[in-house]
């Protein structure tokens, strides 16, 4: 007889379902597409992006994707149809896993910077400085944003 014991840790991260809405556009000006993205985000979309694609007859186009809460899927289907050149929308639900998040502040050579932490099963696995803090430091010091970013990241790495 063999007794096999498997030990596992419960995944305490957030899991939920969201709706993904997609449409392909080959006749919508880029400026209007940019406006749509800003508006959809302000209406409650979780994310909006487009991907360059090639359609039949080698036509260049974009695939517009809107990710939204399940409860807003119908709203965004109508929103896409009304505010883009689309004649149809594909829609499907997907499960997503989101890391638990926390914030901390560190003192750097340039001042305080907020750090967003990504936590998996109680362990910090990601740490990222808040972009707006880095941008404010770069504006104040007139140093390149990239220099500020790498300096702060090295200080984060030294904390580990």
Domains and CATH numbers, the chain: 14-98 (3.30.70.1380), 100-159 (3.10.20.300)
Q: What is the DSSP letter of 29?
A: -
For residue range 3-32, list pLDDT tens digits in order: 455 444 555 567 899 999 999 999 999 999
Token duo for residue 123: 């362990």
Confidence (pLDDT) at 157: 83
Q: pLDDT grade, residue 119 (50/70/90)?
A: very high
Regarding predicted confidence, which is higher, 59 or 13? 59
Question: How much is the average pLDDT of 145-153?
Answer: 95
**In the predicted model, what is the mean pLDDT of the chain?**
91
For residue range 92-115, list pLDDT tens digits in order: 999 999 999 999 999 998 999 999
Q: Is the pLDDT of residue 159 over 90?
A: no
Share of the chain above pLDDT 90, in %: 83
Provide DSSP, 65-124.
EEEEEGGGHHHHHHHHHHHSS-S--EEEEEEEEE-EEEEEEEEETTEEEEEEEEEETTEE
Token duo for residue 41: 């985000």
């Amino acid at each position: 007889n063999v007794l096999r014991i498997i030990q596992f840790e419960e995944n305490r991260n957030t899991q939920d379902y969201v709706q993904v809405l997609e449409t392909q556009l080959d006749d919508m000006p880029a400026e209007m597409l940019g406006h749509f993205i800003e508006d959809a985000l302000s209406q409650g979309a979780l994310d909006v992006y487009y991907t360059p694609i090639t359609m039949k007859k080698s036509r260049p186009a974009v695939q517009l994707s809107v990710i939204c809460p399940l409860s807003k899927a119908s709203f965004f289907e109508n929103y896409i149809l009304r505010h883009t050149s689309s004649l149809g929308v594909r829609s499907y639900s997907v499960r997503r896993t989101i890391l638990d998040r926390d914030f901390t502040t560190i003192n750097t050579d340039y001042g305080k910077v907020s750090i967003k932490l990504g936590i998996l099963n109680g362990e910090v696995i990601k740490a990222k400085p808040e972009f707006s803090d880095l941008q404010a430091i770069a504006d104040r010091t007139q140093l390149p944003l990239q220099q500020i970013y790498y300096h702060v990241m090295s200080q984060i790495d030294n904390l580990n």
